[in-house]
């Protein structure tokens, strides 16, 4: 039964992508349809039109396989070794700094949003 629920939730997520693709084609929007679908899902979840439980297991399943999508890009970089030949040692600190900077900005932003959400919840409970 668990696997059926996961498959159904993945189909719901795919439905949002299809709706996004359709909107992109009809309205000639400059965003990819998949991004529009994700924005629609975000709006539906934020407005509580759509409950998180309806897509949660399927989302976790897809996220667990997400690193596999980066393997072809990594292997593709190996074809361009000549581009990185003289600058290899520079790429290591640049990658480390940009990774830590991204982690810091993401964590700071998520903590700010969590505090803001907690304040809203606190005000609504009073």
pLDDT digits (tens, 9 = 90+) for 86-124: 777 787 788 889 999 999 999 999 999 989 888 887 777
In the numeric block, the tokens 């982690």 are attached to: 103
The torsion angles phi and psi of 31, rounded to 5 degrees, stand at -95, 150
Distance CA 43, CA 46 (A): 5
Q: What is the pLDDT of residue 80?
A: 76
pLDDT of 16 above 90: yes
Distance CA 29, CA 36 (A): 9
Sign of CA pseudo-dihedral 101, 104, 107, 110 = negative
- Pair 31, 24: CB distance under 8 Å: yes
pLDDT of 14 above 90: yes
**Which pLDDT tens digit goes with each residue over 32-87?**
999 999 999 999 999 999 899 999 999 999 999 888 877 777 777 778 777 777 77
pLDDT of 126 above 70: no
CA distance readout (Å), 40 to 19, 80, 93, 107: 9, 38, 38, 24
- Buried/exposed code over 50-86 (b: 16+ C-beta within 10 A; e: otherwise): beeeebebbbeeeeeeeeeeeeeeeeeeeeeeeeeee
* pLDDT > 90 in the chain, percent: 55
Tokens of 29: 């929007």
Write down the pTM of the prediction.
0.60
Domain boundaries, the chain: 1-64
């Amino acid at each position: 039964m668990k696997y059926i629920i996961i498959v159904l939730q993945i189909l719901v997520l795919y439905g949002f992508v299809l709706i996004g693709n359709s909107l992109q084609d009809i309205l000639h929007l400059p965003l990819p349809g998949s991004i529009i679908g994700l924005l629609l899902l975000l709006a539906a979840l934020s407005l509580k039109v759509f409950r998180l439980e309806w897509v949660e297991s399927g989302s976790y399943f897809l996220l667990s396989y997400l690193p596999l999508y980066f393997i072809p890009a990594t292997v593709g970089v190996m074809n361009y070794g000549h581009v990185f030949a003289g600058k290899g040692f520079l790429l290591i600190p640049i990658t480390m700094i940009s990774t830590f900077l991204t982690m810091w900005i993401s964590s700071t932003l998520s903590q700010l949003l969590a505090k803001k959400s907690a304040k809203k919840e606190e005000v609504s409970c009073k």
